[in-house]
């Protein structure tokens, strides 16, 4: 059902991910899909993108929709991410956006990102989704004095050219309100968004889509796709779906049925997460760490962390080219070492949860979405650079509007995410080599940017 890029251990939709969220969240039961369905739009992928598209198509455009998901609802990255509702979904800083997109494109992209953060809260309010929102915005933490200088430039550019509300927190200020410690040199506070429970969000989107009439078909890996004059027929293990239009909402979990135009566009990347045992108030006090606002740092190979409402620390980072469970154990140790470097007093603290999943990047360094060139009935979205919690629901909504034949909103028209990223190298071996070189270059750049 998948087009595997990593070890088979990454592609077992019959297994529940061993995540903190799955262990602690009361989830609704979605019955396994079955039967034959004829709908306006068939969607492959039951994550934020597919479910947001389904919700908006059914609720706002009166379309009939079926969502096919190989695992349980939210089995992919949407149910197991870190729950940061933040931006931006790009590897670029604002200067890089300007170079690639020009002033209108850069501002348009950031305006869409800003709207996406708001959309999560709006959908939660409209559809009664208990996302367990916590914290206030997010902190981008400077890992060096030079990174602090760069953050100030980013702040100034955002203030001048984008609607993103943010403020600078010099080291001493951030030490008093975010956290103290050897690895912070000040922070940029993005004032919107925050932390949430990602599994609660994806299950809530699914319930809302279902309530508005979408058919959910979990545990239905799509193994065959027939294109014919009337549209599309998808075959899964227990169901068949006929549709006029098709949306591929599969992000880093590339399906075997990917059409040629979408091949070699999206590079899956592994992101790894550990969650500690609950830390005591005294342990948090050691770093004056009293915030539930999610944080990530300015390294090229960035770390991200957040204090969870039950007093645990969630800590994550990208990496690994294998994907096997055995190499996962090595990544777990790498994360523990990184955590100990950032928070030496917590070196050796017990880790209660470790899991990982696939996100997606591409050569354009921006998400891609739209209709396939040459076949306007096939739609796609992928490549959120680790900021899919906000971006994917937004792209799902934009796609729903487009599939319903509506004109784009002004923000959608200006968002600079349309179309396809340039092709990657033709084989997965070459793509992995490119990823290995990028990881190595980033690691060296990060090492040389550390303060002496
Ligand atoms: C560990 C981790 C941490 C992250 N942390 C954050 C974060 O804190 N904040 C943030 O903004 N982003 C984060 N991300 C990224 C974010 O989770 C993703 O960008 C987002 O969830 C992608 O949503 P999606 O709906 O496009 O894809 P996914 O949620 O990945 O869903 C794709 C689905 O397609 C299904 N599929 C594929 N092929 C088939 C087939 N043949 N048949 C049926 N189904 C199929 C898969 O089973 C999968 O469930 C993180 C990602 C990971 C992996």
Which pLDDT tens digit goes with each residue over 253-298?
A: 999 999 999 999 999 999 999 999 999 999 999 999 989 999 999 9
Please tell me whether residue 122 adopts helix, strand or coil conformation.
Answer: helix
Please give the pLDDT value at position 384. 96
Structure tokens at 120: 């999560």
**Residue 386 belongs to a domain:** yes
Q: What is the CA radius of gyration of the chain?
A: 21
Asked whether 184 and 346 are in contact (CB, 8 A), the reply is: no
> What pLDDT does 363 receive?
96
Asked whether residue 298 is assigned to any structural domain, the reply reads no
pLDDT surpasses 90 at 105 = yes
Q: Is 452's pLDDT higher than 80?
A: no
Please state, in angstroms and as integers, the Cα–Cα distance from residue 335 to each residue in 106, 120, 394, following that order.
33, 29, 31
Q: Identify which of 386, 396, 417 to mutate to test ligand 1's pocket (most ligand atoms within 8 A of the CB).
A: 386
Q: Cite the beta strand spans of 239-387 per DSSP E.
A: 239-248, 267-276, 295-297, 303-307, 313-318, 351-361, 368-372, 375-382
Q: What is the pLDDT of residue 134?
A: 97
Q: Three-state DSSP class for 43?
A: strand
Q: Is 52 a domain residue?
A: yes
Neighbours of 310 (CB within 10 A): 10
**Cis peptide preceding 88, ω within 30 of 0:** yes
Contacts of 254 (CB under 8 A, 6+ apart): 2, 3, 5, 266, 268
Atom of ligand 1 nearest to the CA of 48: 25
Q: Please identify, by atom number, the ligand 1 atom nearest to the C-alpha of residue 356.
A: 1
Residue 144 CA to ligand 1 center (angstroms) comes to 31
332: in domain: no
Q: Whose CA is nearest to atom 53 of ligand 1?
A: 357
Alpha-carbon distances, residue 228 vs 245, 259, 301 (angstroms): 11, 14, 45
Specify if 373 maps to a domain: yes
Confidence at residue 405, expressed as pLDDT on a 0 to 100 scale: 98
Contact 318, 357 (CB under 8 A): no
Q: For residue 209, tell me if it sits in a domain.
A: yes
Q: Average the pLDDT over 407-430 and give the result.
A: 97
CATH value at residue 226? 3.50.50.60
Least confident range from 63-67, 250-254, 357-361, 440-444: namely 440-444
449 pLDDT band (50/70/90 cuts)? confident
pLDDT tens per residue across span 110-136 = 999 999 999 999 999 999 999 999 999
Name the residue of 5, 206, 251 whose CB sits within 8 Å of the most ligand 1 atoms, as the mutation to test its pocket.
251
Nearest Cα to Cα of residue 424 among 255, 268, 247:
268
Q: Quote the DSSP letter at residue 252.
A: T
Residue nearest (by alpha carbon) to ligand 1 atom 18:
388
pLDDT per residue as tens digits for the range 330-353: 999 999 999 999 999 999 999 999
Beta-carbon count within 10 A of 50 CB: 34
Ligand 1, atom 10: nearest CA belongs to which residue? 387
Residue 92 resides in a domain: no
Is pLDDT above 90 for 198? yes
Task: Give the pocket of ligand 1 (CB within 6 Å).
Answer: 1-2, 13, 44-50, 68-71, 75-78, 80-84, 221-222, 249-253, 255, 257, 271, 273, 316, 356-359, 384, 386-390, 392
What contacts 29, CB < 8 A, 6 or more positions away? Answer: none
How many domains, in total, are found in the chain?
Answer: 1
180-197 mean pLDDT: 94
**Nearest atom within ligand 1 for CA of residue 83:** 8
Mutate to test the pocket of ligand 1, among 45, 198, 304 (most ligand atoms within 8 A of CB): 45
Q: Residue 386 C-alpha to ligand 1 middle, in angstroms?
A: 9
In the DSSP assignment, the letter for residue 260 is G
Return the pLDDT at 74: 98
Contact 348, 278 (CB under 8 A): no
Distance CA 69, CA 349 (A): 37
State both tokens at 152: 């100030």
Residue 451 has pLDDT above 80, yes or no: no
pLDDT mean across residues, the chain: 96
pLDDT for the residue numbered 181: 82
Half-sphere exposure of residue 60, counting CA atoms within 13 Å on the CB side?
Answer: 20
Residue 57: how many other CB atoms lie within 10 Å: 30
Structure tokens at 403: 């599939």
Residue 12 burial class via C-beta count within 10 angstroms: exposed 0-12, middle 13-18, buried 19 and up:
middle
Tokens matching residue 442: 């980033």
Which residues span the domain enclosing 380?
Answer: 8-81+199-266+364-425
In this structure, the residue with its CA closest to atom 50 of ligand 1 is: 81
pLDDT digits (tens, 9 = 90+) for 301-332: 999 999 999 999 999 999 999 999 999 999 99
Cα(181) to centroid of ligand 1, in Å? Answer: 33
Angle (CA) 298-434-428 rounded to 5° is 125
Angle at CA 309, nearest 5°, toward 308 and 315? Answer: 5
Query: Which 3 state secondary structure label does DSSP give 309?
Result: coil
Confidence band, pLDDT 50/70/90 cuts, at residue 367: very high
Distance between Cα 241 and ligand 1 center (Å): 22
Question: For residue 448, what pLDDT is reported?
Answer: 84
Determine, yes or no, domain membership for 139: no
Whether 250 shows a pLDDT value over 80: the answer reads yes
Position 178 confidence tier, pLDDT thresholds 50, 70, 90: confident
Among 48, 74, 77, which residue has the most ligand 1 atoms within 8 Å of its CB, making it the best to mutate? 77
């Amino acid at each position: 059902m998948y087009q595997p890029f990593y070890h088979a251990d990454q592609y077992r939709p019959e297994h529940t991910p061993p995540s903190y969220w799955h262990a602690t969240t009361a989830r609704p039961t979605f019955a396994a899909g079955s039967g034959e369905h004829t709908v306006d739009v068939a969607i492959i992928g039951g994550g934020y993108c597919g479910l947001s598209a389904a919700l908006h198509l059914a609720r706002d455009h009166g379309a009939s929709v079926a969502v096919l998901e190989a695992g349980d609802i939210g089995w992919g990255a949407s149910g197991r991410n870190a729950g940061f509702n933040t931006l931006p979904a790009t590897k670029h800083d604002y200067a890089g956006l300007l170079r690639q997109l020009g002033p209108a494109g850069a501002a348009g992209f950031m305006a869409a990102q800003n709207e996406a953060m708001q959309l999560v809260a709006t959908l939660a309010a409209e559809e009664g989704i208990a996302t367990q929102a916590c914290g206030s915005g997010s902190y981008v933490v400077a890992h060096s004095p030079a990174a602090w200088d760069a953050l100030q430039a980013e702040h100034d550019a955002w203030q001048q050219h984008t609607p993103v509300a943010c403020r600078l927190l010099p080291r001493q200020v951030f030490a008093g309100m975010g956290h103290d410690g050897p690895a912070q040199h000040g922070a940029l506070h993005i004032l919107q968004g925050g932390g949430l429970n990602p599994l609660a969000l994806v299950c809530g989107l699914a319930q809302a889509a279902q309530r508005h009439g979408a058919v959910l078909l979990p545990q239905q890996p799509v193994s065959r796709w027939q294109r014919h004059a009337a549209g599309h027929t998808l075959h899964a293990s227990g169901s068949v779906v006929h549709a006029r239009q098709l949306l591929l909402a599969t992000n880093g979990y590339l399906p075997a049925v990917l059409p040629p135009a979408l091949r070699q566009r999206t590079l899956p990347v592994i992101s790894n997460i550990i969650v500690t045992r609950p830390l005591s108030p005294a342990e948090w006090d050691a770093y004056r760490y009293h915030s539930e606002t999610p944080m990530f740092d300015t390294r090229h190979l960035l770390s991200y962390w957040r204090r969870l409402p039950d007093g645990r620390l969630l800590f994550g980072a990208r990496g690994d080219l294998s994907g096997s469970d055995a190499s996962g154990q090595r990544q777990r140790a790498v994360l523990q070492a990184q955590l100990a470097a950032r928070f030496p007093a917590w070196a050796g603290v017990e880790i209660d949860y470790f899991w990982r999943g696939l996100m997606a990047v591409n050569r354009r360094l921006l998400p891609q979405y739209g209709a396939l060139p040459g076949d306007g009935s096939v739609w796609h979205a992928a490549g959120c650079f680790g900021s899919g919690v906000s971006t994917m629901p937004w792209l799902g909504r934009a796609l729903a509007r487009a599939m319903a034949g509506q004109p784009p909103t002004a923000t959608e028209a200006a968002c600079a995410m349309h179309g396809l990223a340039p092709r990657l190298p033709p084989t997965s071996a070459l793509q992995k080599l490119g990823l290995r070189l990028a990881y190595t270059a980033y690691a060296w750049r990060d090492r040389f940017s550390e303060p002496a």
